[in-house]
């Protein structure tokens, strides 16, 4: 029965690993070939992923498979190393997945909350400005109304004073005119009665002539007094009517202004209270917004993957290159060790 072909990878029996591993013939060579394949896969992973841990594992696998007293001992240790690294990587992957889910959730929620609080703060700021402006406008209107009301009250007081003075002057003037008019009328009556009687001291002509002159003069004075009395009475009545009309207007205007002042003052007070409440809400929301912004910054820093520095990249690459050079050196030394064995085999066949 022909001998079973030995896999090409089993040449590792004569290079990278101890000769004792191949004493079992083709089966042992196949096992060693499997070890070599496993090592090749790990090395490829190390090169592709540029992982220091995988590179270290490849180095340790090489060392164990090369220097262990038996394949079984080396296999068990290598298997343990691989299982431990798999468990570690799976744990890290799970932790990273959990953290990523946490970061994604928290970043979305924090960003949404930041936008919400930002919009609320902006709207409140606008509302506070509007409310404050309305309050200031109302206070300005109240101040203007109070000024106008003060001027109105002052004008009314001056009118009252002037009316009192005019009324007093009219009363005294009227009294004087009425007194004078009564005196003139009495004098005219008396003269008419006197000159109307018979008297032996004067002739009829003399009495008639004197009475006519005096009485006529008194009657002119009476007419002037009566005219003056009528004029001042008419003037007084017109002044009273104008005063009462203006006073009525002033009273209505005063009532309106006082009502406006009361209403606008009440409205301004309410707006001031509203503005204070809005400012309190704004302050609370601003504090919440600051806290959310600070948390979002911390979260962003925590969840953002920081790239490697140039020094770290160079160090990692140097380590990988060193590992590759080591693997290349191992392969080269294996090829050199294989050459004498091949020459011996050729000599035996010729004999």
Distance, first Cα to last Cα, the chain: 23
pLDDT of residue 292: 93
* Contacts of the segment 332-335: beta carbons below 8 A, 24+ positions apart: 333/15, 334/11, 334/12, 334/14, 334/15, 334/16, 335/15
pLDDT of residue 66: 72
d(CA 138, CA 266): 10
pLDDT of residue 100: 83
pLDDT of residue 11: 40
pLDDT of residue 302: 85
Of the listed ranges 3-12, 56-65, 201-210, the one predicted with least confidence: 3-12
pLDDT band of 18, cuts 50, 70, 90 = very low
Q: What is the mean pLDDT of the segment spanning 31-48?
A: 68
Mean per-residue pLDDT of the chain: 77
Residue pLDDT, tens place only, 297-325: 998 888 876 665 445 544 544 444 443 34
Higher pLDDT, 80 or 316: 80
Q: Taking 80 as the threshold, does the pLDDT of residue 249 lie above it?
A: yes
pLDDT of residue 148: 96
Q: Taking 90 as the threshold, does the pLDDT of residue 7 lie above it?
A: no
Most confidently modeled range among 83-87, 98-102, 292-296: 292-296
Which residues have a Cβ under 8 Å from the Cβ of 170 and sit 6 or more positions away?
232, 233, 235, 236
Q: What is the mean pLDDT of the segment spanning 280-285?
A: 94
Of the listed ranges 16-25, 92-101, 131-140, the one predicted with least confidence: 16-25
> DSSP letters of 47-63?
HHHT-HHHHHHHHHHHH
Angle between helices 52-67 and 310-350 (to 10 degrees): 30
Residue pLDDT, tens place only, 139-189: 999 999 999 999 999 999 999 999 999 999 999 999 999 999 999 999 888
Say what percent of the chain tops pLDDT 70. Answer: 66
Catalogue the E-assigned strands of 134-285. none
pLDDT of residue 275: 95
The first and second tokens of residue 89, run together, are: 């990587």
């Amino acid at each position: 029965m022909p001998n079973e072909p030995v896999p090409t990878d089993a040449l590792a029996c004569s290079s990278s690993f101890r000769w004792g591993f191949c004493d079992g013939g083709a089966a042992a060579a196949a096992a060693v070939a499997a070890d070599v394949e496993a090592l090749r896969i790990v090395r490829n992973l190390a090169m592709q992923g540029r992982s220091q841990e995988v590179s270290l594992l490849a180095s340790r696998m090489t060392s164990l498979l090369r220097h262990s007293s038996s394949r079984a001992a080396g296999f068990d240790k290598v298997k343990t190393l691989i299982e431990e690294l798999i468990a570690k990587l799976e744990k890290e992957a799970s932790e990273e997945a959990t953290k990523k889910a946490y970061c994604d959730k928290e970043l979305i929620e924090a960003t949404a909350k930041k936008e919400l609080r930002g919009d609320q703060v902006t709207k409140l700021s606008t509302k506070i400005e509007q409310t404050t402006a309305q309050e200031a406008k109302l206070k300005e209107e109240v101040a203007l109304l109070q000024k106008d009301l003060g001027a109105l009250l002052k004008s009314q007081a001056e009118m009252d004073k002037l009316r009192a003075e005019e009324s007093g002057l009219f009363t005294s003037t009227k009294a004087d005119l009425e007194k004078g008019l009564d005196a003139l009328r009495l004098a005219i009556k008396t003269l008419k009665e006197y000159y109307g009687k018979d008297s032996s001291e004067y002739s009829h002509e003399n009495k008639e002539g004197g009475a006519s002159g005096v009485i006529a003069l008194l009657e002119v004075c009476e007419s002037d007094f009566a005219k003056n009395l009528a004029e001042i009475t008419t003037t007084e009545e017109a002044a009273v009517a104008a005063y009462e009309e203006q006073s009525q207007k002033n009273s209505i205007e005063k009532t309106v202004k006082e009502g406006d002042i009361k209403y606008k003052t009440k409205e301004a007070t309410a707006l001031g209270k509203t503005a204070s409440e809005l400012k309190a809400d704004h302050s609370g929301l601003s504090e919440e917004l600051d806290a959310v912004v600070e948390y979002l910054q911390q979260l962003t820093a925590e969840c953002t993957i920081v790239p490697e520095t140039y020094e770290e990249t160079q160090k990692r690459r140097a380590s990988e290159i060193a590992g590759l050079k080591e693997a290349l050196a191992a392969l080269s030394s294996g090829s050199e060790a294989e050459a004498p064995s091949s020459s011996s085999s050729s000599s035996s066949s010729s004999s």
